[in-house]
């Protein structure tokens, strides 16, 4: 009989994930946090979600209002930073270790849960959760019948550069599609996230969430093209490049420039200047390509910076 995750353990994991979403700016002060919404978002039942919300209320991260439920506290940033300092995220460290071993060809293409349990001395529930995450992020798949298969990803600097060249080809073009339609809700949501990143202490935000916010911006903008194949293609290559970006130390000073570029693109779109926004997107991605060329990438790995 398979090992089941204890309710308290699942509640702790939900609490940690909520904290990381709060740290990333996905959820903002004053926002209502419904138990059913979180259950649907994370694919869990309401019972451990209620326990997690209560736990975060005790830490001052959420406020509970009678007959209305939970809301993100106004002073959430300080409490989130304290939580991250106290709790950390060992599962994220394990995930990076698994991903890094695959990138460095230390793992076979086909694996079983038992193989990974023996290799890393991890529990069955932990291995299962990490593999589910790898499947969700696009670099693993469940085999028919038994086991998992790790998939080809951007394992080399050359492949990483090819991804950026592909993005240069489709993202500026997406803004010029005849089916382009400005969704002001998307623009407002992305503006809020980018402005939040300019004001928050970036050192308190997990690397994973910083990378996710950047990917989300580009995926939401290309969604406006009205061409679903642009979005599907970008999502796929973003999943492929994410593993290599985990290996490099994030330059948080560079993130300030990145967020400023993103806000400039949003301003141009809101003004109806799609041609200008397309040019700015091309300029933005071209700068990233120059910084992340194979030569620059090897230098970054050798020197621990972007």
pLDDT tens column, 97-156: 888 888 888 999 999 999 999 999 988 888 888 888 788 777 888 888 789 999 877 677
pLDDT tens column, 285-306: 998 888 766 544 454 444 333 3
pLDDT tens column, 223-251: 999 999 999 999 888 877 777 776 666 67
Question: Domain 90-150 adopts which CATH fold?
Answer: Arc Repressor Mutant, subunit A (1.10.10)
Question: SS3 of 148, please?
Answer: strand
Domain 7-87 has CATH 1.10.490.10: no
Tell me if the pTM is above 0.75.
no
Distance between CA atoms of residues 190 and 155, nearest Å:
30
Fold match flag (90-150 vs 157-303): no
- pLDDT value at residue 24: 60
Distance between CA atoms of residues 11 and 51, nearest Å:
6
Q: Where are the domains of the chain?
A: 7-87, 90-150, 157-303
| Cα-only R_g, the chain | 20
Question: SS3 of 183, please?
Answer: coil
DSSP-assigned beta bridge partners for residue 65: 69
pLDDT tens column, 157-211: 777 788 889 999 999 999 999 999 999 999 999 998 898 888 877 777 767 777 7
User: Does residue 41 surpass a pLDDT of 80?
Assistant: no
Q: Which long-range contacts (CB under 8 A, 24 or more apart) does 228-232 make?
A: 230/170, 230/173, 230/174, 230/177
Contact partners, residue 32, CB within 8 Å, separation at least 6: 68, 69, 70, 71
Closest C-alpha among 40, 99, 39, 44 to residue 239: 99
CATH for 157-303 (3.30.379.10, 3.30.499.10, 3.40.190.10, 1.20.120.530): 1.20.120.530
How wide is the angle at C-alpha 160 spanned by C-alphas 104 and 299, nearest 5°?
75
User: Does residue 6 surpass a pLDDT of 60?
Assistant: no
Among the ranges 51-55, 84-88, 172-176, which has the highest mean pLDDT value? 172-176
Strand arrangement, sheet containing 62-65: 32-33, 69-72, 62-65
């Amino acid at each position: 009989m398979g090992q089941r995750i204890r309710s308290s353990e699942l509640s702790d994991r939900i609490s940690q994930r909520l904290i990381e979403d709060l740290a990333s700016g996905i959820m903002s002060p004053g926002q209502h946090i419904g138990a059913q919404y979180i259950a649907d978002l994370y694919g869990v039942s309401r019972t451990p979600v209620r326990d997690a919300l209560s736990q975060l209320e005790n830490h001052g991260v959420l406020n509970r209002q009678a007959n209305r439920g939970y809301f993100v506290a106004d002073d959430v940033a300080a409490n989130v930073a304290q939580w991250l300092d106290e709790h950390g995220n060992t599962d994220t460290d394990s995930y990076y270790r698994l991903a890094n071993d695959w990138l460095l060809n230390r793992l076979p293409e086909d694996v079983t849960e038992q193989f990974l349990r023996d290799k890393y001395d991890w529990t069955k529930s932990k291995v299962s959760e990490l593999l589910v995450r790898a499947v969700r992020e696009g670099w693993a798949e469940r085999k028919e019948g038994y086991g998992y298969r790790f998939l080809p990803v951007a394992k080399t600097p050359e492949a990483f550069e090819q991804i950026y060249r592909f993005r240069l080809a489709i993202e500026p073009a997406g803004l010029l599609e005849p089916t382009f339609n400005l969704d002001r809700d998307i623009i407002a949501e992305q503006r809020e996230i980018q402005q939040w990143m300019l004001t928050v202490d970036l050192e308190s935000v997990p690397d994973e969430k910083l990378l996710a916010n950047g990917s989300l911006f580009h995926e939401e903008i290309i969604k406006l093209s009205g061409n679903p194949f642009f979005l599907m293609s970008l999502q796929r290559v973003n999943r492929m490049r994410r593993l290599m970006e985990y290996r490099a130390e994030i330059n948080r000073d560079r993130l300030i420039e990145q967020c400023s570029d993103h806000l400039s693109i949003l301003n141009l779109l809101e003004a109806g200047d799609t041609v200008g926004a397309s040019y700015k997107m091309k300029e933005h991605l071209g700068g990233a390509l120059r910084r992340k060329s194979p030569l620059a990438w090897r230098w970054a790995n050798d020197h621990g910076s972007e």
